[in-house]
């Protein structure tokens, strides 16, 4: 006990001393490890502080193994990767809503996973406040993995491979839910997407230039979209109603805040990798970006909570003529990070080996 107190004091002192030379130390990754969490030059400081959970090679690999392991779901039939597919920027291709155990269809579209270390809140309604806890919803939702934390921890402790791997990362004899969440966070926080054509253009890398259409689309984007889909994350991380329904079936943010003016509001999603992460909207109602742009052009319906930016000067929506839509699409495609979606580090380790 005494030893533990002393250890904690040491940590506190190290932490205090650390603040003096923060910039010179890789605070997000354990020293000597090669799995490095880097803040891209055009990005702000991440929200996740990696406190007590700096990324390590072994931790990242363990998190990835858990992410691809169906052992987490009640009937061991699905893993996180069933709905979060690397080639779709970790959204689910062609599925309007999530698809859980027993063929259960959920009510909301699987969100893409990237740049999570910059995210303050998670899920379409923002109900989860911390990256480490973000898997808890899918793990326990009856229509997703339908398991519970006790069961997951028991299974992992009883498995052949996991106890030694957890011990290597967390230096403890037994696996608990905290280690599971932290291991997963070591993987999910590493899912950084910041190498699209847009990023290279902004950072003046590789002599990348925009085409005329892309350049024109970027100007339209800045004039008409960026108030909500703010650079460089392409979301202002707020909750808004974008005029999908007069009477929303899904109350959205209100289910968390219990406030009438949040009915029908959802988290503004990032537009990064939007080309590959359809279907779109919280319920996956639009299959193509063309439909999405047409919604903003002519489909926005009025409701008490409709975002004021979508009824400026009494005009519903955002007028976008055919040419503007084409240009905007050209720009949105510059946000596709092919290096990210093809990154072998983030793919199923079992499949990569067998290839």
Partner 1 sequence: MKSKYWALISLFSISIISKAWSQTLPADSGKLILHFKNVVNGQPLRLNDTAVNYHNSHGDKFTINTFKYYISNIVLFDDQGKKITLPPAYFLINAADSTTFDPVLTHVPPGKYSAISLMIGVDSARNFAGAQEGCLDPAQGMFWTWNSGYIFLKLEGISPQSNAKLHRLTFHVGGVKPQNTIRVQTIPLKKELIIGAGQTAKAVIITHIDALFSGKNQVDFSRLSFTMGGPNAVLIADNYATSLFTAWEETQR
Strands (E), the chain: 239-240, 266-267
Cα distance between residue 48 and residue 70, in whole Å: 27
CB of 60 to partner 1, least distance (A): 17
Q: Which stretch binds partner 1 (CB under 8 A): 126-134, 207-215, 294-302, 337-345?
A: 126-134
Subset of 248-277 contacting partner 1 (CB under 8 A)? 255-259
CB of 83 to partner 1, least distance (A): 16
Q: Which of 21, 171, 207, 355 binds partner 1 (CB under 8 A)?
A: 21
Q: Does 177 bind partner 1 (CB under 8 A)?
A: yes
Q: Which of 30, 182, 229, 272 binds partner 1 (CB under 8 A)?
A: 182
Q: Does 157 bind partner 1 (CB under 8 A)?
A: no
| Token pair of 218 as six digits | 């970027």
Cα distance between residue 72 and residue 155, in whole Å: 8
Q: Does 178 bind partner 1 (CB under 8 A)?
A: yes
Q: Is-contact 224 309, C-beta < 8 A?
A: no
Q: Does 130 bind partner 1 (CB under 8 A)?
A: yes
Q: Which of 28, 29, 30, 53 binds partner 1 (CB under 8 A)?
A: 53
Q: Which of 128, 219, 316, 326 binds partner 1 (CB under 8 A)?
A: 128
Q: Which residues contact 182 (CB under 8 A, 6 or more apart)?
A: 52, 53, 59, 132, 170
CB of 150 to partner 1, least distance (A): 5
3-class DSSP state for residue 12?
A: helix
Sequential DSSP letters for 233-248: TT----EEB-S--SS-
Q: Does 149 bind partner 1 (CB under 8 A)?
A: yes
| Token pair of 258 as six digits | 């219990």
Q: Which residues contact 180 (CB under 8 A, 6 or more apart)?
A: 66, 149, 152, 153, 156
Would you give the end-to-end CA distance of the chain in angstroms?
50
CB of 125 to partner 1, least distance (A): 8
* Residue closer to partner 1, measured from CB, 78 or 180: 180
Exposed, middle or buried: residue 116 (CB in 10 Å: 0-12, 13-18, 19+)?
buried
Q: Is-contact 92 167, C-beta < 8 A?
A: no
* Residue closer to partner 1, measured from CB, 180 or 225: 180
Q: Which of 140, 159, 168, 200 binds partner 1 (CB under 8 A)?
A: 140
Q: Which of 77, 159, 168, 176 binds partner 1 (CB under 8 A)?
A: 176
Q: Does 288 bind partner 1 (CB under 8 A)?
A: no
Say if residue 84 carries a ligand binding annotation: yes
Cα distance between residue 286 and residue 224, in whole Å: 20
Exposed, middle or buried: residue 160 (CB in 10 Å: 0-12, 13-18, 19+)?
exposed
Residues in binding site for heme c = 80, 83-84, 225, 228-229
Binding site for partner 1 (CB under 8 A): 2, 5-6, 9-10, 13-14, 17-18, 20-21, 24-25, 51-53, 123, 127-133, 136-137, 139-141, 148-150, 153, 176-178, 180-182, 185, 255-259
Residues in binding site = 80, 83-84, 225, 228-229
């Amino acid at each position: 006990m005494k030893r533990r107190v002393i250890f904690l004091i040491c940590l506190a002192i190290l932490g205090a001393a650390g603040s003096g030379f923060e910039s010179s130390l890789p605070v997000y990754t354990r020293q000597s490890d090669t799995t490095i969490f880097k803040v891209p030059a055009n990005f702000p400081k991440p929200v996740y502080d990696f406190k007590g959970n700096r990324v390590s090679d072994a931790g990242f690999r363990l998190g990835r193994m858990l992410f691809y392991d169906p052992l987490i779901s009640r009937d061991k039939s699905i893993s996180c990767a069933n709905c979060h597919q690397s080639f779709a920027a970790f959204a689910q291709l062609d599925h309007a809503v999530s698809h859980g155990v027993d063929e259960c269809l959920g009510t909301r579209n699987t969100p893409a996973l990237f740049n999570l270390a910059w995210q303050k809140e998670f899920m379409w309604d923002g109900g989860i406040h911390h990256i480490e806890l973000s898997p808890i919803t899918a793990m326990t939702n009856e229509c997703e993995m339908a398991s519970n934390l006790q069961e997951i921890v028991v299974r992992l402790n009883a498995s052949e491979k996991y106890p030694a791997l957890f011990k290597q990362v967390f230096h403890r004899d037994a696996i608990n839910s905290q280690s599971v969440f932290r291991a997963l966070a070591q993987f999910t926080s590493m899912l950084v997407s910041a190498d699209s054509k847009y990023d290279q253009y902004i950072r003046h890398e590789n002599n990348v230039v925009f085409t005329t259409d892309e350049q024109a689309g970027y100007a339209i984007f800045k004039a008409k979209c960026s108030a909500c889909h703010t650079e460089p994350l392409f979301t202002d991380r707020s909750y808004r109603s974008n005029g999908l329904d007069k009477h929303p079936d899904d109350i959205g943010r209100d289910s968390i805040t219990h406030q009438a003016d949040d009915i029908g509001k959802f988290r503004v999603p990032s537009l990064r990798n939007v080309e590959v992460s359809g279907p779109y909207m919280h319920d996956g109602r639009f299959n193509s970006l063309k439909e999405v742009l047409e919604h903003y052009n002519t489909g926005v319906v009025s409701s008490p909570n409709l975002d004021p930016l979508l009824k400026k000067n009494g005009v519903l929506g955002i007028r976008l003529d055919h040419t503007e839509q084409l240009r905007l699409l050209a720009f949105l495609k510059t946000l596709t990070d092919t290096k990210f979606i093809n990154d072998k580090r983030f793919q199923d380790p079992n499949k990569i080996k067998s290839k």
